[in-house]
Homo-oligomer: A and B are copies of this chain.
Amino acid sequence: MSGTHADVPTLVSTPLPGPVPSDEYDRCPVTDVIRRVGDKWTLLVLVLLGRRAHRYNELHREIDGISQRMLTRTLRALEDDLLVCREVFPTVPPSVEYSLTPLGRSLLEPLSALADWAVENETEIAAARHRPTLETKNAR
């Protein structure tokens, strides 16, 4: 914060000569991470697992409205990226526990910074959305 529009670290300061090549952009690690976390459930799952390890149905109960299908897919995707860890205990009936990996926990830090920004500027954003659709004449 501090300065009104201080220099932003990397990202903005690094130069780019020509246009951004499309295929290079598709593989950009930054966009990649944001898009992966930007789906409907991933963030919430990460946050819940950041509090403590959960079993499958614990998550299913705590996340109101998620379908089994999406919970499974979300967990699998996170597991594939080594952000969450899946442990099967051979009890009967079997129980599966999900927890954050160190990598997953480290991701929660910058995510939390973003969350703080969102909360701080929540009212400003909300106010913007409720503007009278910008007159002119028809529906914009």
Write the residues of chain A forming the contact surface with B, with a CB cutoff of 8 angstroms. Answer: 1, 4-6, 8-12, 16, 19-22, 25, 29-35, 37-40, 43-44, 47, 50-51, 61-65, 80-82, 102-103, 105-119, 121-122, 124-125, 128-129, 131
Contact = CB atoms under 8 A, between A and B. Distances in A.
A115 B10 contact: yes
B128 A81 contact: yes
Given A82-B124, A105-B5, A115-B11, A34 B29 contact: no
A35 B62 CA distance: 21
Copies of this chain, count: 2
Contact of A119 (B30, B40, B107): B30
B9 A116 contact: yes
Contact of A64 (B8, B22, B107): B22
A20 B82 CA distance: 25
Given A82-B124, A103-B124, A106-B117, 12 more contacts: A8-B109, A10-B112, A11-B108, A11-B112, A11-B116, A25-B65, A29-B119, A29-B125, A31-B44, A32-B125, A103-B125, A114-B114
